[in-house]
Amino acid sequence: MYPRPFFYHRASSLQEAVTMLSQLGTDAKFLAGGQSLIPLLKLRFANPKHLVDLSFIKNTSFIAENQNAIRFGAMTRHAEIEHSALAQKIPVLHDCAAGIADVQIRNRGTIGGSLAEADPSGDWANALITLDTTVHCLGKNGERSLPLKDFVTDAYTTALAHDELVKEIEVKIPPHGSGGAYIAFKRSAPVYPSASVAVQLTVQDSVCKEAAIALGCVGLTSIRAGEAEASLRGKSLNEKVIETASEAARAAADPQSDMRGSADYKRQLVVALVKRAIQIAMRRARGERVEGSHLYA
């Protein structure tokens, strides 16, 4: 199906994009990689009268290290992150980027667009929530910065005002002795996951000092599995402790039955993914290089 007719505008700076959206009103939308928005236009689930394209604005696609953090311009494509040596300093970022959909979508889709879309099945919000992540935004009143946990407020809903955009995403590099993993279970590459899990652990003398576990696609937003995290802290990470954490994560999941599987099936997936992600995160925390990848049915 063709989208309804719309006016196409090309912004030459982020400030100009914000001004355009503000003047064009609520019938206007930003366009980034178009990998979520264009399908919605074609299905006529979204019918904006104006699209303001961010793709031609200079210096919005970059990966840079600054004061113990990695910064991503909002227009940085998933594929650029997948292939970035800098992003590999935080393995969760590479795991996430490399498993999003297929090559075509990774070449177009952006990290900023993914966070702004706040799709409950999207990968970036779930991976980044286990890290110290700040979203830098630009609106007509200037810039503001929000921790990611305050940025995504509900399914497909963020703290952004209509004429405010994501400018940059900043991720703190985890401390020495920290390791993470992100795994999604998918029916095939070009579909969203049935369930996904991000784990970030800080381990000292074989004892878990800090743990973050996030569950994706099994709730309206990414779910932090607080009891599972607490069950790991202060413990030596043996099989029994990992089993206890995985079962606590099952209880935290709140999935719906749909074409990707029944709610029970997804809870079972969560248990298996948490176990696997903890094992990879532990090895990475010890300094091992471990290839992690999404799992395909």
Ligand X SMILES: Cc1cc2nc3c(=O)[nH]c(=O)nc-3n(C[C@H](O)[C@H](O)[C@H](O)COP(=O)(O)OP(=O)(O)OC[C@H]3O[C@@H](n4cnc5c(N)ncnc54)[C@H](O)[C@@H]3O)c2cc1C
Name the one range near ligand X by CB under 6 A: 4-12, 188-196, 218-226, 274-282.
188-196
**Which residue, 121 or 279, is less far from ligand X as judged by CB?**
121
**Minimum gap (Å) between residue 11 Cβ and ligand X:** 11
**Which residue, 122 or 179, is less far from ligand X as judged by CB?**
122
- As a whole number of angstroms, the distance between CA 100 and CA 80 comes to 12
112 near ligand X (CB under 6 A): yes
Name the one range near ligand X by CB under 6 A: 121-129, 197-205, 223-231, 245-253.
121-129
- As a whole number of angstroms, the distance between CA 209 and CA 178 comes to 9
Geometric angle at alpha carbon 36, from 31 and 37, rounded to 5°: 45
Selected binder of ligand X within 18, 24, 30, 72 (CB under 6 A) = 30
32 near ligand X (CB under 6 A): yes
DSSP 5: P
Residue with tokens 């912004």, as numbered in its chain: 11
Name the one range near ligand X by CB under 6 A: 1-9, 143-151, 160-168, 175-183.
160-168
- As a whole number of angstroms, the distance between CA 182 and CA 186 comes to 13
123 near ligand X (CB under 6 A): yes
Geometric angle at alpha carbon 283, from 92 and 232, rounded to 5°: 85
Radius of gyration of the chain (CA): 19
Selected binder of ligand X within 73, 91, 109, 174 (CB under 6 A) = 109
**Minimum gap (Å) between residue 75 Cβ and ligand X:** 7
Selected binder of ligand X within 28, 79, 116, 270 (CB under 6 A) = 116
Stretch 34-73: interaction string toward ligand X, x if CB under 6 A: xxxx-x--------------x-------------------
113 near ligand X (CB under 6 A): yes
Q: Is 293:257 a contact under the CB 8 Å cutoff?
A: no
- As a whole number of angstroms, the distance between CA 201 and CA 255 comes to 25
**Which residue, 184 or 270, is less far from ligand X as judged by CB?**
184
Residue-by-residue DSSP string for 44-93: TS---SEEEE-TT-TT-S-EEEETTEEEEETT-BHHHHHT-TTGGGSHHH
**Which residue, 30 or 185, is less far from ligand X as judged by CB?**
30
Of 285, 92, 286, nearest in space to 179 by CA:
285
100 near ligand X (CB under 6 A): yes
The footprint of ligand X (CB under 6 A) covers: 29-37, 39, 54, 74, 100-101, 105, 109-110, 112-114, 116-117, 119, 122-124, 160, 165-166, 190, 192-193
